[in-house]
Amino acid sequence: MSNENAVKMTQMNYAPKRPKAENPVKIEDLSLRDGHQSLFATRGRTEDMLPVAEMMDEVGFWAMEVWGGATFDTMHRFLNEDPW
């Protein structure tokens, strides 16, 4: 499998005295919820989503929506995972 389409992280090296934005843009991402429900029929395993969530956290999203209506049911019934 080729790495040519891999997403590459870029470190944001801001100057220490860089002024803080007065009205920063806040980005909320829904891909872990919508992608999980749409592409995998809610069968995506937690272990597969954790590396993505860690990268998203490093990027600095303001919020991530990761909850769907069948979260507990799917984890127990189909994936044999403990949601706690």
pLDDT of residue 2: 61
Both tokens of 36, joined, read 């999980």
Cα separation, 46 vs 18, whole angstroms = 37
Domain ranges of the chain: 48-84
Cα separation, 33 vs 42, whole angstroms = 9
Q: Which residue has the higher pLDDT, 42 or 79?
A: 79
pLDDT of residue 48: 83
- Digit-coded pLDDT (tens) for 23-76: 888 888 888 877 767 766 777 788 888 898 888 888 888 888 877 666 677 777
Q: How confident is the model at residue 1 (pLDDT cuts 50, 70, 90)?
A: low
Cα separation, 48 vs 78, whole angstroms = 15
Q: How confident is the model at residue 5 (pLDDT cuts 50, 70, 90)?
A: low
Q: What angle, 0 to 180 degrees and rounded to 10, lies between the N-to-C axes of helices 31-39 and 46-59?
A: 150
